Amino acid sequence: MTFSGNNNKLIKEWIRTLQKSLTIETENKFINTLGRERYFNDYLHESLKKLDNLNLSDEYLRIFYEFSKKYSEYNKLDENQRKRLIIDTRKNLYKLGKTQEIESSNIISNKVFLNKADSSLSFDSDISLIKNVGKVYKNKLNELGIFHIKDLINYFPRTYLDYTNRVKIINLKPDNLYTCIANVKRFYIHKSKKNSNLSIMNIVVYDETSSIKVTKFFLGRRFRSYSFFTSQKSLYTAGTKLAISGKVKLTEYGKTFVDPQIEILKDNNDNYNFSGKILPLYSLGEALSNMSFIKLMKKVLIYAKQYPEILNKKQLDSLSLLSKGESLINIHFPPTQQALIESKKRLVFDELFLLQIKFLLRKRKTNKNVTSQQLPQKKSLLKEFLNNFPFELTKSQENVLNEIKKDLSNPVPMSRLLQGDVGSGKTIIAIASLLLVIEKNLQGAFMVPTEVLAEQHYKNLLKYLNPLLVSVELLTGNTPQKKRKEIFSNLNNGLVDILVGTHALFEDKVIFNALGMVVIDEQHRFGVTQRNRLLNKGDNTNLLSMTATPIPRTLALSIYGDLDVSQITELPPGRVPITTKIISEDNLTNLFKIVEDEINKGKQAYVILPLIEDSEKMNLSSAKKTFKYLSEEVFFNKKVGLLHGKLSSQEKNEVINSFLKNEINILVSTTVIEVGIDVPNATIMIIYNSDRFGLSQLHQLRGRVGRGSTKSFCYLVTSDKNGLENKRLCVLQKSNDGFYIAEKDLELRGPGQILGYRQSGLPDFVLDNLPNNKFLIDKAREEAIKIVSGDPDLKKNIVLRNILIDNSDNKFIHDFLN
Ligand code: ADP
Ligand code: MG
């Protein structure tokens, strides 16, 4: 239901008078004030049902009738109940008022032709309440994570097609996007002979400069019917004026618009939809069409203006940012490229700003509860451990360990990110740090992304820590029920010192007696949410996050906030750099000879594949098939093993153990071995379909070799003939430096691809826009510091506070703000 401008005024006046008397009654402390003619409650009772000429939606009619009834009983209510009732009434009046404002602003801003607001809907409404959204459509939207109108508005386009480039036919150049205004000259439509599902429409159009062919394809049986053909024919009669937007291609018939957007312009009305505009393209999978999504968006975008604004006018001006509402509208339907840039800027700012506020609150919280963990020391575990370790720590390792020691002697919990290239020896540092908290009678958790790696760490820990009487347990998704119970109980009463494991550690049943430190290995494989869940299992828990995939400083600051960063900058001595070669699939025979030689020298090889089994969809090599081929044909006289994610954990362990003991010469595997596996005797790494992996991932895979003192080789197998992908692979060939490779990866794929939402807590679109908006990170930080230092509990910044509580999965935010 919509309102006329006149009606709008009536409603506003009605709201204003009611709010006035509600204010007076509140000021009088709910005594049922006697007005000039009537008691407050009688007045409300009457006014709230006198709605006939207001033209309200059914929903609001119902709401206000209910209130009206309640006011007739007002005298029977106690003070608190009266207060509650008044607050509720005010809220609903306020909400109605808001929809009116939108309505009136809609009349002015019709740049993007938003639909008018429906007073029964709001920003928070369920999408099923939108007109014409049926059950089927609703389900499809739900699958995309869209449940409320606000989710829809926050579903940003993946990219855009810019049709603002309007030109005359004579000036059209191939391979560019254009909009043309032209008239129909001839029209044909026919069924494709080659494809029984396809119809093809051709229109010749002209303007005062020239003419051009326009081709459109219709896929689907229903587009082959007689009635469809005649309906199209009647649309495109000779002389009809069209706006055609799309790509011009050079075909055998000369320049042609191929599958453009076409809009029929009625009269001289330029009021068309997307021709000449910037068209948003959404990631919708196969279930939804972009156009229907756009139509839906136009229905709801008007509610973007209800989005709470966290910046005041002064801030907006000084930061030269758009208002939230405006930027939400523009991100979907940008009138110009500049407007798009501006709205991205605002939206990116908000995400960074909120994140920085969270960091600051966390820091404040941890500073507030300064309860130092000064318990009697067990003994010097660390010293003993280092004595037993067969190597000297590298200078770098020593420096990092000292930084950690310093952190731990400080009452504020440690939050440290340890970056160190593949093979630089991070595990030792992790063990050493855990021992430092165990010396204080606290417990440690060692979080690992895969079961295989968890097993490996577990064994290492047993080896080094059993002699020191430190108790270690392993918990994964496959730990048997009985063992699980035992672990939970021993963990709870403090008998377990270190718990190593996979995602199973997040489970609610995992309760520590006194968790002192969380170590996260390969932290880029985890999300911020997961990390926080584990930290929340203790008070003032220290955090050591480790990664071999470093990210540039500016990004680190924006996504990890106040995490301190340590780096291991050297590899242990005696390592020989790995030689990397790109080879074509046709060249495998030669490669197999090299492998054979190496095995005969007692060394081992990995062969990595992107898939476990062959798939119809993808023309890629699979582990199972390659295993069969290698074990039966090429290396039938050697021992070949197979490892992949579908094996049971017992099977996986057996394979890894045999490989570790050199009972397997060649391990054929998927990327389950990607992170952390440490078998120093392996010297050959072969990666099939290497162009399918990210650079950092390839670097990780390559890092499985070169761990001993023998020269190692990595072969990147590719079928890519034109060498385009090879450009990427060349980065690896040239460099063994994980930092450099990570920078390149970032450059080539963008931060969204690499960091992802899970890891960073930031939406992809923010990540992808960071490199162009580095200054925003500083601004967001500055602004956040201003807010938190002036208003540490966010008592004055209620809107901000509510948004934080709403969006936050962090216990500390809730604890802190509630
Ligand atoms: P990553 O940093 O990739 O996790 P690891 O911790 O797995 O590396 O260490 C790689 C290998 O280097 C292991 O075999 C480990 O025992 C060895 N290592 C670690 N520190 C040293 C050192 N200071 N001297 C010699 N070898 C070391
Ligand atoms: Mg490691």
Confidence of residue 444 (pLDDT cuts 50, 70, 90): very high
User: Using N-to-C axis directions, what is the helix angle for 695-702 and 726-734, rounded to 10°?
Assistant: 40
* pLDDT tens, residue by residue, 164-205: 777 888 888 888 888 888 999 999 999 988 878 889 999 999
Q: Are residues 809 and 704 in the same domain?
A: no
- State the Cα–Cα distance between residues 750 and 746, nearest whole angstrom: 5
Q: Are residues 38 and 104 in the same domain?
A: yes
Q: Which residues line ligand 1 (CB under 6 A)?
A: 391-394, 397, 420, 422-428, 548, 572, 676, 678, 680, 707
- The reply to whether 698 falls in a domain is yes
- 69, 93, 108 — which closes off a domain? 108
Q: Tell me, what CATH number does 242's domain have? A: 2.40.50.140
pLDDT at res. 270: 43
Q: Are residues 764 and 799 in the same domain?
A: yes
- The reply to whether 126 falls in a domain is no
pLDDT tops 90 at residue 554 = no
Which tokens belong to 600?
A: 């005969």
> How many whole angstroms from 678 Cα to the centroid of ligand 1?
9
Average pLDDT estimate for 532-560:
80
pLDDT tops 60 at residue 552 = yes
Q: Sign of dihedral through CA atoms 201, 202, 206, 210?
A: positive
- The reply to whether 709 falls in a domain is yes
Residue 34 DSSP one-character state: B
Q: Sign of dihedral through CA atoms 750, 752, 755, 761?
A: positive
When the pLDDT of each residue in the chain is averaged and rounded to a whole number, the result is 84
Q: Are residues 542 and 436 in the same domain?
A: yes
Q: Are residues 177 and 89 in the same domain?
A: no
pLDDT at res. 739: 81
Greatest alpha-carbon pair distance for the chain in Å reads 107
CB 551 within 8 A of CB 742: yes
> How many whole angstroms from 34 Cα to the centroid of ligand 2?
76
Confidence of residue 374 (pLDDT cuts 50, 70, 90): very low
Confidence of residue 331 (pLDDT cuts 50, 70, 90): very high
Please choose from 549, 567, 678, 700 the residue to mutate so as to test ligand 1's pocket, defined by most ligand atoms within 8 A of CB.
678
- The reply to whether 127 falls in a domain is no
Residue, of 776 and 378, whose pLDDT is higher: 776
320 three-class SS: coil
pLDDT at res. 736: 85
Residue 255 DSSP one-character state: E
Which residues, 6+ apart, have CB-to-CB distance to 49 below 8 Å?
A: 64, 65, 68
Q: Are residues 613 and 728 in the same domain?
A: yes
Average pLDDT estimate for 673-677:
77
pLDDT at res. 106: 35
What are the φ/ψ torsions at residue 498 (nearest 5 degrees)?
-130, 130
Q: Which amino acid is at 381?
A: L
- The reply to whether 417 falls in a domain is no
Q: Whose CA is nearest to atom 20 of ligand 1?
A: 425
Determine which of 45-49, 514-518, 742-746 has the lowest per-residue pLDDT on average. Answer: 742-746
> How many whole angstroms from 94 Cα to the centroid of ligand 1?
64
The CA–CA distances, whole Å, from 621 to 582, 641, 722, 743 equal 17, 17, 19, 29
- State the Cα–Cα distance between residues 490 and 504, nearest whole angstrom: 16
Q: Whose CA is nearest to atom 18 of ligand 1?
A: 425
183 three-class SS: strand
Looking at the DSSP bridge assignments, the partners of residue 212 are 205
* pLDDT tens, residue by residue, 221-273: 878 888 899 999 998 999 998 888 888 998 888 899 998 888 777 654 444 45
Question: Which ligand minimizes its atom distance to the CA of 400?
Answer: 1
- The reply to whether 286 falls in a domain is no
pLDDT at res. 2: 37
Residues of the domain holding 225:
159-281
pLDDT tops 90 at residue 527 = no
pLDDT tops 90 at residue 516 = yes
Q: Are residues 681 and 749 in the same domain?
A: no
pLDDT at res. 761: 61
Q: What atom of ligand 1 comes closest to residue 394's alpha carbon?
A: 23
CB 224 within 8 A of CB 204: no
Residue, of 760 and 473, whose pLDDT is higher: 473
Average pLDDT estimate for 512-521:
95
> How many whole angstroms from 727 Cα to the centroid of ligand 2?
28
Confidence of residue 561 (pLDDT cuts 50, 70, 90): low
Q: Are residues 541 and 393 in the same domain?
A: yes
> How many whole angstroms from 247 Cα to the centroid of ligand 2?
49
pLDDT tops 70 at residue 309 = yes
pLDDT at res. 608: 95
Q: What atom of ligand 1 comes closest to residue 422's alpha carbon?
A: 3
> How many whole angstroms from 697 Cα to the centroid of ligand 2?
14
- The reply to whether 291 falls in a domain is no
Element (H, E) at 600: helix 588-600
Q: What atom of ligand 1 comes closest to residue 393's alpha carbon?
A: 23
- 83, 108, 133 — which closes off a domain? 108
Determine which of 61-75, 252-266, 402-416, 737-751 has the lowest per-residue pLDDT on average. Answer: 737-751
Q: What atom of ligand 1 comes closest to residue 429's alpha carbon?
A: 6
- 281, 316, 346 — which closes off a domain? 281
- The reply to whether 446 falls in a domain is yes
Average pLDDT estimate for 580-596:
91
Which residues, 6+ apart, have CB-to-CB distance to 5 below 8 Å?
A: 104, 107
pLDDT at res. 813: 58
CB 677 within 8 A of CB 669: no
pTM, entire model? 0.60
CB 249 within 8 A of CB 175: yes
pLDDT at res. 692: 83
Q: Tell me, what CATH number does 667's domain have? A: 3.40.50.300
Query: Where are the alpha helices (H) located in 389-447, listed in sequence order?
Result: 395-409, 426-438
Q: Whose CA is nearest to atom 17 of ligand 1?
A: 425
Question: Which ligand minimizes its atom distance to the CA of 450?
Answer: 2
Confidence of residue 635 (pLDDT cuts 50, 70, 90): very high
Please choose from 387, 396, 428 the residue to mutate so as to test ligand 1's pocket, defined by most ligand atoms within 8 A of CB.
428
Confidence of residue 722 (pLDDT cuts 50, 70, 90): low
Which residues, 6+ apart, have CB-to-CB distance to 416 below 8 Å?
A: 403, 404, 407, 543, 544, 545, 563, 564, 565, 566
Average pLDDT estimate for 720-731:
69
Please choose from 386, 391, 677, 679 the residue to mutate so as to test ligand 1's pocket, defined by most ligand atoms within 8 A of CB.
391
pLDDT at res. 418: 93
Q: What atom of ligand 1 comes closest to residue 420's alpha carbon?
A: 2
> How many whole angstroms from 249 Cα to the centroid of ligand 2?
51
pLDDT tops 50 at residue 122 = yes
> How many whole angstroms from 457 Cα to the centroid of ligand 2?
9
Q: Are residues 504 and 603 in the same domain?
A: no
Confidence of residue 754 (pLDDT cuts 50, 70, 90): low
The CA–CA distances, whole Å, from 305 to 114, 327, 437 equal 12, 10, 51
* pLDDT tens, residue by residue, 423-441: 899 999 999 999 999 999 9
Q: What atom of ligand 1 comes closest to residue 574's alpha carbon?
A: 25
Q: How many domains does the chain have?
A: 5
pLDDT at res. 113: 59
Q: Are residues 493 and 532 in the same domain?
A: yes
Q: What atom of ligand 1 comes closest to residue 391's alpha carbon?
A: 24
Average pLDDT estimate for 443-457:
91
pLDDT at res. 372: 40
Q: Whose CA is nearest to atom 15 of ligand 1?
A: 425
Question: Which ligand minimizes its atom distance to the CA of 682?
Answer: 1
Question: Which ligand minimizes its atom distance to the CA of 521?
Answer: 2
Q: Whose CA is nearest to atom 25 of ligand 1?
A: 572
The CA–CA distances, whole Å, from 495 to 434, 444, 459 equal 15, 12, 19
Q: Are residues 607 and 684 in the same domain?
A: yes
Other CB atoms within 10 Å distance of the CB of residue 370: 10
* pLDDT tens, residue by residue, 143-156: 888 999 998 998 99
Percentage of the chain with pLDDT > 70?
86
Please choose from 385, 396, 400, 424 the residue to mutate so as to test ligand 1's pocket, defined by most ligand atoms within 8 A of CB.
424
Report angle CA 225, 230, 234 to the nearest 5 degrees: 150
Question: Which ligand minimizes its atom distance to the CA of 431?
Answer: 1
> How many whole angstroms from 499 Cα to the centroid of ligand 1?
21
pLDDT at res. 792: 82
